[in-house]
Structure 1
Amino acid sequence: MYHGQTDLVKHVSHFNQRMTVYSKNEALMCKAFPSSLRLVVFRWFDGLSTGSIDSFKELTRTFESRFITCSKVPRSLDSLLSMSMREGETLKTYSNKYWEMFNKIAGDFNHVALRTFKVGLPAEHDLRKSLTKKPVRCVRRPMNSINKYKQVEEDQQQGK
Structure 2
Amino acid sequence: MPSRFTRPTFISYDGKTDPVEHVSHYIHMMFLHNHNDALMSRVFSSSLGPTALGRFNGLRKGSIHSFAELIQEFGVRFMTYSWVPQPVDALLFMKMEARKTLWSYTSRYWELYNEIGGGNEKIAASTFRLGLPKDSKLRESLTRRPPKDMRQLMRRIEEYKKLEDDRQQSKGKALAVT
Which residue pairs with 1:25 in the alignment?
36
Deviations 1:26-68 (A, max 9, x none): 2222122111101222233333223322222221211111111
Q: TM-score, normalised on structure 1?
A: 0.83
Q: Percent identity?
A: 45
**Is the contact between residue 27 and residue 34 of structure 2 (CA under 8 Å) also seen in structure 1?**
yes
| Greater relative contact order (Cα < 8 A, sep 6+) | 1
Change (3 A) 1:111 1:69: same
Distance 1:157 1:107 in 2: 31
Q: What residue identity is the alignment partner of 2:22? A: H
Residue 15 of structure 1 is matched in structure 2 by 26
Q: Does 1:34 align with 2:23?
A: no
Q: Tell me whether 1:136 sits opposite 2:148 in the alignment.
A: yes
Unaligned runs of 5+ in 2: 1-11, 172-178
Work out whether 1:55 is the aligned partner of 2:59: no
Q: Give the CA RMSD over aligned residues.
A: 2.2
- TM-score normalized by the length of structure 2: 0.76
Alignment of 1:106-145 (within 5 A): 106=117, 108-132=119-143, 133-137=145-149, 139-145=150-156
The structure with the largest alpha-carbon Rg is 2
Count of residues in correspondence between the two structures: 159
